[in-house]
Amino acid sequence: MKNEDKYIRLYADFENYKKRCKKDKNDLILYANEKLILDILIILDDLKRSINYVKTNELLYNNLLNILKQNNVKEMDCIGEKFDPHYHDAITSIDSYEKNKIVKILQPGYTFHNKIIRHPKVVIGK
C-alpha cells in the first residue's frame, strides 16, 4: 500500500471519528434530562391516579403534562395497535379480543425527542 493511500484512509478515518464525536456530543446534550424526566413521570402517574379522589390534582396533572410536552416528551397512545415487544411491555392478556391487539394501557409509555424512554405496560387480547 502506498503512503498516499495510507494517508487518505487515515484522513477518512479521522473525519469519521470527528463526525461520530459530534453526533455523540449532540445526543448527550439532547438527552441530558432523560433521567430527570423519568423521575417526573412517576409523579405524573401518581397525580393521574389521584384525580379520581382529589379533583384539584387534575390541574396539577394537566400543567405538568403540558410542561413535559413543551420539552418534547409525548405520551404513547397505543390502544388498538398490534402488540410489538420492541415498543410495548405486555403485563397480561384477556380473552374475547382480537389476538395481539392492545386493549388497555396499565401504565403509559413516553417518548423524549422520539426516543422511547418508558415503554407502556399494556393488556393484550388473546
Domains of the chain by residue range:
1-30, 31-125
Is the pLDDT at 34 greater than 80, yes or no? Answer: yes
Model confidence at 58, pLDDT cuts 50, 70, 90, reads: confident
Model confidence at 57, pLDDT cuts 50, 70, 90, reads: confident
> Could you tell me if 73 and 65 are in contact, meaning their C-beta atoms sit under 8 angstroms apart?
no
Range of weakest confidence among 53-57, 83-87, 114-118: 53-57
The CATH architecture to which 31-125 belongs is: Roll (2.30)
SS3 (DSSP) at 35: helix
C-alpha dist (Å) from residue 79 to 6, 33, 82, 124? 56, 28, 9, 9
Amino acid 102: pLDDT: 92
Q: What is the pLDDT of residues 17-28, one digit of tens each?
A: 999 999 999 989
What is the distance between the alpha carbons of residues 81 and 122, in angstroms, rounded to a whole number? 11
Strands 115-118 and 109-112: antiparallel
Amino acid 1: pLDDT: 66
> Could you tell me if 81 and 100 are in contact, meaning their C-beta atoms sit under 8 angstroms apart?
no
Q: Which residues contact 123 (CB under 8 A, 6 or more apart)?
A: 90, 91, 92, 93, 94, 102, 103, 104, 105, 106
The whole-model pTM stands at 0.79
